[in-house]
């Protein structure tokens, strides 16, 4: 059985005072059935890991493919691990779009992260133009294959499907569209990795909020969510977590 996962991506939001939301989340949900992961900005990883105290997992939002060196502004996987992180998000659409990250770069980063024992949350997703051109499965299939290193298992890899056109827009694909992509991703994972492909968790991301979480979590092959803005507030993320626990 795949344990459900509620993951929050704080993106470029949060200062030390924001960690009060983490304490509030833990207090309101001391024993969730689902695994909980929060990925704050790099400046807060160590501080959040202290507040989380092992009750929730903490992750980074990116890492470099190199272990160290002259890469000003970048963070190595070992540095995240040293700060208390256990996971790292890789290949998010904003990284792909804003920083020109290719599938090959994402794969190299995933290999570096895995070498340091970090669980990789690898993101895939199509743009609105690609969706309108009926290229969704082709696009996410290539991203999945090219971005995911060999040897993926349920223990070291999570895949997040985030339709780019639904991130932060309030728009959400239909349940049938979500199921189509998640079922496709599952079949591709099983075809490549066998039983381990069946164990890899698939998260849905893209304007997940308390009002739509229950129906999304009831959809085929949705093992949880990668949540953006709604993960910044304990009340909102807690409501999503409750919906996932009940799924």
* Strand partners of residue 201: 158
- Has 64 been annotated as catalytic? no
Burial class (CB in 10 A: 0-12, 13-18, 19+), 18: middle
Whether residue 217 contacts residue 190, with contact meaning beta carbons closer than 8 Å, is answered with no
CB atoms within 10 A of CB 97: 11
Per annotation, catalytic residue among 35, 94, 162, 188: 162
Closest CA to 209 of 184, 181, 235, 175: 235
Helix and strand numbers (H, E) in the chain are 11, 8
Active site residue 101: no
Please report how many Cα atoms fall inside a 13 Å half-sphere around the Cα of residue 209, on the Cβ side: 11
Cα angle: 190, vertex 191, 196; to 5 degrees: 35
Catalytic residue, from 87, 92, 94, 126: name it.
92
CA angle 104, 207, 240 (to 5 degrees): 110
Residues 6 and 34 sit within 8 Å (Cβ to Cβ): yes
Separation in Å, CA 189 to CA 29, 46, 140, 201, 221: 32, 33, 12, 10, 12
Distance of alpha carbon 201 from alpha carbon 160, whole angstroms: 8
DSSP 233: S
**Catalytic machinery residues:** 92, 162
């Amino acid at each position: 059985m795949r344990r459900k996962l509620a993951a929050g991506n704080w993106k470029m939001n949060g200062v030390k005072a924001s960690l009060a939301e983490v304490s509030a989340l833990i207090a309101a949900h001391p024993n969730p059935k689902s695994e909980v992961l929060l990925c704050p900005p790099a400046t807060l990883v160590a501080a959040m890991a202290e507040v989380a105290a092992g009750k929730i997992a903490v992750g980074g939002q990116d890492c470099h493919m190199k272990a160290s060196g002259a890469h000003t502004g970048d963070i190595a996987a070992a540095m995240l691990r040293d700060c208390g992180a256990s996971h790292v998000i890789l290949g998010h659409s904003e990284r792909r779009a804003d920083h020109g990250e290719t599938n090959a770069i994402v794969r190299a980063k995933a290999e570096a992260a895995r070498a340091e024992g970090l669980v990789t949350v690898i993101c895939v997703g199509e743009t609105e133009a690609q969706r309108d051109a009926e290229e969704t499965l082709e696009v996410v299939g290539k991203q999945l294959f090219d971005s995911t290193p060999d040897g993926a298992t349920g223990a070291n890899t999570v895949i997040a499907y985030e339709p780019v056109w639904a991130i932060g827009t309030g728009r959400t694909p239909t349940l049938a569209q979500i199921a189509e992509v998640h079922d496709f991703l599952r079949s591709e994972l099983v075809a490549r990795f066998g039983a381990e492909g069946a164990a890899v968790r698939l998260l849905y991301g893209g304007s997940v909020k308390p009002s739509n979480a229950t129906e999304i979590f009831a959809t085929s092959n949705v093992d949880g969510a990668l949540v953006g803005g709604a993960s910044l507030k304990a009340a909102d993320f807690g409501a999503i977590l409750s919906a996932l626990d009940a799924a």
